[in-house]
Structure 1
Amino acid sequence: MSVKDKPAAGPVSRILRPVRGRLIVAAVLAAIGTMLTMVPLAGIAHIAQFSMGQAEVATGWVQMQNQVWRVVSVSLVCLFLGMTLISVGEMVAHLADNHITGHLRLAITRRLAKVPLGWFTSRASGEVKQAMQDDIGTLHSLTAHFFTTLGRTMGAILIAILYLFAMDWRMAIVSLLPFPLFFLFFSRATKASGANMQSFGAGMARINNAVVEFVNGIPVVKAFGVEGKAHGSYRGAVDAFAEAFTDFTRPLVSAMANAHAMITPVAVLGVVLAFGTLLVSLGWITPVEVLPFALVAPGICAPLLLLSYITHDLNNATAAAQRVHTLLETPVLETLAGESQQLPENAEIRVEQLGYSYDGQNPVLKNIGFTLKPGTVTAIVGASGSGKSTLARLLLRFFDPTEGRITLGGVDIRQIESAQLYRRIGFVLQEVRLIHASLRDNIALGRPSASQQEIEDAARTANIHQRILALPRGYDSVIGEDVQLSGGELQRVSIARAVLLDPPVLVLDEATAAADAENEVKLQQALSRFAQGRTLMVIAHRLDTVMHADQIILIDNGTICEQGRHHELLARKGRYARLWALGGYEQAKEQAVSSC
């Protein structure tokens, strides 16, 4: 078989590749240790045989005592040695688990740091949380316990079978008759439930997403009194999971009950004694020769039951490993084929024949072209859904364009390494994300080494300095604990963070939408001052907030309708002029509603 013809490794194998050798060592140690711990069972059988087989004479009694002490000594040594090997195996497995858990979390973090930022907008936070936290937690039972448990069960079963056949092959076959029936019922149960494993995992993911969405939406639910509707999606997720869980477990119940009944110690002992009595009556064996089978054969039941339980854990771990592997295989931002990474010479941005489609069929942007010169403010205006935010996200490389290109300082942004790109392009979006830390740390997130004076200067530019000083702990106030900021205040903190980063390019996507009119004017003035020597692009709805921009671009249905300065666009008496006369998009919308 050629390399190309070899089947791809399973998800569990791919995930555990870094610690595969350690887990094999742990399983072997556990198997050997378990074999040694079963030696005392054979020792008991042999002591009984000595006791019943020796003549009751002085020399025979002394010989038997010597043999008994020899068997007891060997049994004790094997028992303690076996327990030591099992403990060492467990330690090796747990160390391997600690290594792979840290490795996976770091690998996922590094991977997510390289994926397009737009990937996060199309994923529910519960989905990522399940893979990074819950699924890696599920893998703990696989790495820390599955392989050592498998080693112990296989070691116990193997040594027991070898011992029984060494004693008498006929009784060995008879004693093992219940176990093939167990595997028959067990395989049927596993196959039946495995068909529903995918829907079971999907139901769990849906519950995770529903919980996150429900918790995030509690303020809206309370404000508008729509508890019934808000609970509906969560109830639906719970009901769907309950149905999937029922479908998953229903085939298991009867089949597993039958399987377990086959290998209860009482059932196995009954088979051994029944057939042992028959063979004794036929004169094929002596009564004392039945004793090893009565002691050892029922001992196989517990390892087999344990094997069935860990096999169920393996199914869960396989699904978890698949989700973790999928996250690790998330497409990352790649450099253009055949191109080396480059650094831009200046902060000039050129958008050339740009086109983009989310689904590959319906274009959101078509043939967009313009230039953002350093030290200028460019405003992108247009109705909701016209493609403004998509354009901003393409500039920030949340995703790559379907057609055309965007250059920064003469270099295609796809040739600029992500860390270098975001040092040169700062952004403030409509949805503000702050970390659970002090206001000082949130503002200095991009520049942890910034001084207190630099942090305060950035806050002054964003018109948030006085608000922070009014707090009891000032800049040491922790978001969510010491202070609850309004939407406009959160945006001003986000703007201060971007100002402190001091990028040559700044993109503002409705960054002042949550601020009141007075603060919005102050922010626009501050940002205009900050734009000196920098490239600033502002996405806005209100035309009066961008009238002083060096360039205004009106986008409609994914194309550029008009482009120029405020007075130039008014002089053309086109769509921009009509919208200005109506008071902008929001006012035009209100008038359209009132006229209906």
Structure 2
Amino acid sequence: DEPIVMQLSHVTFAYDQQRVVLQDVSLNVLANSFVSIVGESGSGKSTIAKLCCGFASDYQGSITVQGIERSSLADASFYKKVMYVTHKPTIIKGSVRENLRMGNPLASDEALWKVLQDVCIADFLQEQDGLDTMLEEGGQNLSGGQRQRLAMARALLADREVYIFDEATSNIDMESEDAILQLIHRLKKEKTVLLITHRLSSVVDSDCIYVMEKGSCVEQGTHEELRKQNGVYERMFKQQQTLEQFYKEQTV
């Protein structure tokens, strides 16, 4: 059996007395597995990532990373092992090269071009000034999809053991989303991947899916197991299929 990389055990968390965001949540992320957390907006799924990454503390219960309680683990040690990718990437004012080397300061230009190829943004940058293309603060001179692809390239260069993708494909165009999802699915062959998303079509081949509703984990299992339960996941899955079908018909 693979060891547990991250474990939440009976975790309850509130930003204030009135607003309990997580209620008695338990889940495991095994090494070299592809685990997804799904749920409607506001169900608490992103809060789980924030607690694991140390952006919020004062939780009740236990969150461990490789057996060490998160609250007693230094952030520097955590981020040596874990890469957190969100839908709001940090892009600094400077060249593409400088932005990418934040992921790996020693990466050669050849390595940089390879990851840019992987995230399907190399062609665009070749038409600009290549790795010397200057970016504005926050990447304002790029589209949302291009910013996200660049962040993904940097994450790949960092080469961590564990990748947490927190709604990393929301607010971007379909083409960029597909490119990034393909990469996430390639990564899961050699890394531990935790994918937090509201899009169920991207979690179908997860080893385990946790379904969040109103701050509680209400279902867990594989895609097939959850569909047979005919509960929250099945309802969401059918709704999204209908919407995607409608969207396809509108764009034909």
How far the C-alpha of 1:531 sits from its partner, in A, is 2.3
Structure with the bigger RCO (C-alpha within 8 Å, sep 6+) is 2
Q: Please report how far the alpha carbon of residue 562 of structure 1 lies from its aligned counterpart in structure 2 after TM superposition.
A: 0.9
Partner of 1:427: 84
Structure 2 CA distance for aligned equivalents of residues 486 and 391 of structure 1 = 28
Alignment CA distance shift 1:461-1:376 (3 Å): farther
Displacement of 1:438 in angstroms is 0.6
TM-score (norm 2): 0.88
Matched, 1:478 2:134: yes
Q: Which residue of 2 aligns with 1:406?
A: 63
Q: Is 1:569 equivalent to 2:226 in the alignment?
A: yes
Match of 2:186 among 525, 529, 547: 529
Q: Does 1:464 align with 2:127?
A: no
Q: State yes or no: 1:357 paired with 2:14.
A: yes
For residues 406 and 464 of structure 1, do their structure 2 counterparts lie closer, same or farther at Cα, with a shift above 3 Å needed?
farther
| Whole-angstrom CA distance in 2 between matches of 1:581 and 1:570 | 10
Q: Distance in 1 between matches of 2:58 and 2:215?
A: 13
Paired with 1:461 and 1:407, the residues of 2 have a C-alpha distance of 32
Same amino acid, percent of matched pairs: 31
Q: Deviations over 1:183-242 (max 9, x none)?
A: xxxxxxxxxxxxxxxxxxxxxxxxxxxxxxxxxxxxxxxxxxxxxxxxxxxxxxxxxxxx
Q: Is the 8 A contact 2:35 2:194 kept in 1?
A: yes
Give 1:518 shift: 3.1
| 1:493-552 residue CA offsets vs partner (Å, 9 max, x unmatched) | 111111111111111111111332233223212112122232211111121122122221
- Runs ≥4 residues deviating over 6 A: none
- CA displacement 1:101-124 (0-9 Å, x = unmatched): xxxxxxxxxxxxxxxxxxxxxxxx
Alignment partner, residue 250 of structure 2: none
| Partner residue of 1:383 out of 15, 20, 40 | 40
Within 5 Å, give how 1:198-217 maps onto structure 2.
none
Q: TM-score, normalised by structure 1?
A: 0.39
Structure 1 counterpart of 2:235: 578
Alpha-carbon separation, structure 2, partners of 1:578 and 1:371: 24
Aligned residues: 242
Structure 1 residue 462: Cα displacement: 2.6
CA distance in 1 between counterparts of 2:22 and 2:140 reads 41
Alpha-carbon distance, 1:359 to partner: 0.9
Pair member with larger Rg? 1
Query: What's the secondary structure of 2:164's corresponding residue?
Result: strand
* Conservation of the 8 A alpha-carbon contact between 1:463 and 1:523: no
Deviation at 1:347, TM superposition (A): 7.0
Tell me how far apart the structure 2 counterparts of residues 370 and 480 of structure 1 sit (CA, whole Å). 40
| RMSD of aligned residue pairs (Cα, Å) | 2.3
**Residue number among 84, 95, 106 corresponding to 1:438 in the alignment:** 95
1:278-310 per-residue CA deviation (whole Å, 9 max, x = no partner) reads xxxxxxxxxxxxxxxxxxxxxxxxxxxxxxxxx
Shift of the 558–441 alpha-carbon distance from structure 1 to 2, 3 Å rule, reads: same
3-state SS in 2 of match to 1:583: helix
The structure 2 residue matched to 1:541, chosen from 189, 198, 202, is: 198
**Paired amino acid for 1:571:** K
Q: Does 1:370 align with 2:27?
A: yes
Q: Which stretches in structure 2 are left out of the alignment for 5+ residues? A: 247-252
Structure with the higher fraction of residues in strand conformation: 2
CA distance in 2, matches of 1:380, 1:425: 17
In the alignment, the residues of structure 1 paired with residue 58 and residue 80 of structure 2 have an alpha-carbon distance, to the nearest angstrom, of 21
Higher relative helix content: 1
